[in-house]
Amino acid sequence: MNLPTVSVVIAAFNAGRFISEALESVIGQSYSDLEIVVVDDGSTDNTAEIVESFCRADSRVTLHRISNSRQAKARNTGVSICHGDLIANLDADDVAPPKRIEEQVLFLEKHPNVVAVGGAQRVIDEQGNTIGTEQFPSHHGEIVQQMFAGNPSGGLALSASMVRRFAFERVGGFRSDFVPAEDYDLWLRLSTVGHLANIESVCSCYRLHLGSDSSTKYNFQLEQSNRALADACSKTGRPLVEIKSPWVQMRPLDRVMVRYLSHGRQREAFGLLRHSLRLNPFDAANLLSLARFVYMALMQSISGRDSS
């Protein structure tokens, strides 16, 4: 039996709305020497049934079901049962561009000192429309400097990442006690055993919606990111810094709204806010969101005038 070079691991929880698109994007890759391991993390919707239909149509797709254990354990489970020397991560609500796997495999073949590679990510809405594109630092030195300076976004985008299996296992994989910042924690630890890199190509289409972890768990993610950074600093002897957010107690609507605004999509941001205001016009949280919108829109307007 010929074992695949690449294993794509998808941890899924109640992903019935998007899992088909994610799987289709991997099946349609230009690089075909791969397997697709989906770990259903105790879903209560039709996620498993959808994945099973893909298993019947393509032998490269396998489904493994576990009781709900949060994403770190689900991702580790996927790695433990897959066969590839290279592990590609993809979230169940995201999409992989057609040449993503091929380009990352070629990069790792040319750079044996790199243990994990990411890439740019295109931010899309629930319908798949492009909101904007986000680039990440390319070289190891800059990535490490950004991460240890308290910038979790200076590392790799999880859904755009490919990791060498030996390095993943050497550092102990994802750690459940750092969820939902388990990816930042992993990059910090991987940076001590090899180089990290990002290619310029878009390697994932990151779906922004009110139900995503980055929207619903932002404040807890910030807390866990600080714990991961403190742990890494104590082990490497680097000076400890604190990751701070300009906003306190962000709710999902605010998180998505701010992401829209960061890409200059004021109309879409205000559309979310307007809907919430119509439902609860005098709600204190909505009034705070309105203040955030006005402030950020004003700052963008000033910035635009200054640069012109």
Backbone angles phi, psi at 55, to 5 degrees: -60, -40
Pick the CATH number of 6-209 from 2.40.160.40, 3.40.50.300, 3.40.1350.10, 3.90.550.10: 3.90.550.10
Q: What are phi and psi of 3, to 5 degrees?
A: -85, 145
pLDDT tens per residue across span 257-273 = 888 888 888 888 888 88
Percent of the chain with pLDDT over 90: 67
| Cis status of the peptide bond prior to 180, with omega within 30 of 0 | yes
Q: Give the burial class of 273: count Cβ atoms within 10 A of its Cβ; 0-12 exposed, 13-18 middle, 19 or more buried.
A: buried
**Model pTM?**
0.88
pLDDT of residue 78: 97
Query: What pLDDT is stored for residue 247 in this prediction?
Result: 58
Containing 116, the helix (H) or strand (E) segment is strand 114-124
Domain range list for the chain: 6-209, 252-307
pLDDT, tens digit, 9 for 90 and up, residues 109-157? 999 999 999 999 999 988 899 999 999 999 999 999 999 999 888 899 9
- The torsion angles phi and psi of 46, rounded to 5 degrees, stand at -95, 20
Residue 122: DSSP 8-state:
E
Residue 29 has pLDDT above 50, yes or no: yes
Tell whether the model's pLDDT for residue 2 goes beyond 80: yes
pLDDT for residue 308: 47
**Average pLDDT in the 16-25 region?**
97
Residue 155 to residues 107, 152, 196, 217, 275, Cα–Cα distance (Å): 17, 6, 8, 19, 34
Burial letters for 142-172: b for 16+ Cβ neighbours within 10 Å, e otherwise?
A: ebbebbbebbbebbbbbbbbbbbbebbeebe
Quick: pLDDT tens for 36-77: 999 999 999 999 999 999 999 999 999 999 998 878 999 999
